[in-house]
Amino acid sequence: MTEKLIIHGGKALRGEVEISGAKNSVLKLMAATLLTGDSIELRNVPHLSDVGVMTQVLKYLGCDVDQQDDDRLYIQAKNITSCEAPYDLVRKMRASFDVLGSLLGRFGEARVALPGGCSIGKRSVDLHVKGLIALGAEVEINHGYVEAKASRLIGAEILLDTPSVGATENIMLAATMAEGATILSNAAQEPEIVDLANFLNAMGADISGAGTNELVINGVKPGSLHGTTYSVMPDRIEAATYLMAGVGTMGDVTVNNVLPVHLSSLTHKLIEMGAEIEMPSPNSIRIHSERRLQAQNIVTQPYPGFPTDLQAPFMTLLSTADGVSIVKETIYENRFKQVGELKRMGADISVERDVAVITGVPHLSGAEVNAHDLRAGAAMVIAGVMAEGSTQVFDLHHLDRGYEDVVSKMRSLGADIERVPDTSGRPVTEESA
């Protein structure tokens, strides 16, 4: 039975919330564990359905995977029985495509289903494939699968056409045990790339430059990567979601276990809009506001620009800000699916191609809305706590991919929110973030 959220909004959220480990990092760290036969212990691992899907992928390949009730996850890729990731698993979650680089890097072969597009955009993997070819792999695309082979990969100079997060990761994973150095230019600079590089270095890799646009991966001897214990970075997108829920309700919220620098592009915008922001400790951010926020413009960009993953939740805030705001989405072709839902809650938004114009209304009013994808779902939860009256949010499986314990965390801040069975029989929508 699917479930829905019922939120009685309009209450100021107050209090502190602990942020979980980052979904978009842990999935890649899990893929990276394939590079050694030793046991790996990951900590600060969130309980998310996407972690469950990556667990299924690794088990399918022959790994032992054991997620504890607390935040630990043990993985050992000692007895790999297959180098193939089937479509059934990859289509559920496109991050499973990251096993391509690891399998190729360690075993010299991989057969991984093409993820295809998803509801937010085309999401091609051409740059991943070009990068692996540059490292000397023979790559063919047959029957919907990427088939890659190489007796030994050779380091190369690679320039990405665009700083793709996934391509940077797959190339980095494949190149860790290549012969010689790989220089990857126009690399993605997201904090999750830094986390992956730090993890690989803790396993014995030799990677420098992570967090800049040029990565240098000095290949180490095949078989030389080893086990380690590593703590996953905090989830900057989850942290941002609670900050926006706090300020959107004119409350006072502190997020703990965060790295504030990861959230600079958001906090700068919020300060310009009139929010008060403080850092009570090096790992916390406090936000509060007693006044209606002012309108603001954003353009989504690769890190350190404004993240596309926050565009939908931020639009919820803008929908009640004073004045006219403009949002331009440059990363995905179809990431405005929250707009129709926000309009059902009384927002005044018009969309022309990749630009949305939002004229702030004094308040949102509760309605029945869909979480069309993961971040559109977060936008609906924020809208629900901000709105007057009652909101029901459907299609929660999207939210479960990336938000651990959203109901208990929101309740700890004073939100009136519950999760109940959805008996409406509505069809379930698919997406693969």
- Amino acid identity for residue 244 in this structure: M
Shortest Å, Cβ 167 to ligand EPU = 5
Select 167 or 173, whichever has its Cβ closest to ligand EPU: 167
**Where does 304-397 show beta strands of DSSP type E?**
324-328, 348-352, 355-359, 368-370, 390-394
Select 39 or 186, whichever has its Cβ closest to ligand EPU: 186
Q: Which residue is nearest to ligand EPU (CB)?
A: 166
Pairing of the two strands 348-352 and 324-328 = unpaired
Select 187 or 369, whichever has its Cβ closest to ligand EPU: 187
Shortest Å, Cβ 121 to ligand EPU = 5
Task: Provide CB contacts within 8 A for 139, sequence distance 6+.
Answer: 129, 132, 133, 146, 147, 148, 149
Alpha carbon distances (Å) from 428 to 13, 49, 90, 214, 398: 30, 16, 18, 41, 10
Select 125 or 275, whichever has its Cβ closest to ligand EPU: 125
Residue 209 to residue 163: CA distance in whole angstroms: 14
Q: Is 405 left (phi over 0), alpha (psi -120 to 50) or beta?
A: left
Catalytic member of 63, 99, 113, 118: 118
Shortest Å, Cβ 143 to ligand EPU = 20
Pairing of the two strands 298-299 and 324-328 = parallel
Instruction: Name residue, tokens 């040029």.
Output: 214
Query: In the complex, which residues of this chain contact ligand EPU (CB under 6 A)?
Result: 24, 27, 95, 121-128, 162, 164-167, 188, 308-309, 331-332, 374-375, 402, 433
Report the length, in residues, of the chain.
433
Residue 145 to residue 150: CA distance in whole angstroms: 16
Shortest Å, Cβ 318 to ligand EPU = 19
Q: How far is CA 31 from the centre of its chain?
A: 15
Select 127 or 146, whichever has its Cβ closest to ligand EPU: 127
Residue 86 to residue 60: CA distance in whole angstroms: 9
179 sits in which H/E element: none
Q: Which of 170, 184, 250 is nearest to 212 (CA)?
A: 184
Shortest Å, Cβ 98 to ligand EPU = 8
Task: Provide CB contacts within 8 A for 415, sequence distance 6+.
Answer: 7, 11, 13, 245, 385
Select 321 or 382, whichever has its Cβ closest to ligand EPU: 382
Q: Is 118 a catalytic residue?
A: yes
Backbone angles phi, psi at 377, to 5 degrees: -65, -45
Q: 10 Å Cβ neighbour count for 294?
A: 15
Shortest Å, Cβ 89 to ligand EPU = 14
SS (H, E, C) 155-197: CCEEECCCCCHHHHHHHHHHHCCCECEEEEECCCCCHHHHHHH
Select 252 or 431, whichever has its Cβ closest to ligand EPU: 431
Shortest Å, Cβ 398 to ligand EPU = 9
Shortest Å, Cβ 25 to ligand EPU = 8
Q: 10 Å Cβ neighbour count for 144?
A: 12
Select 17 or 27, whichever has its Cβ closest to ligand EPU: 27
Residue 266 to residue 309: CA distance in whole angstroms: 11
Backbone angles phi, psi at 47, to 5 degrees: -90, 100
Residues designated catalytic: 118
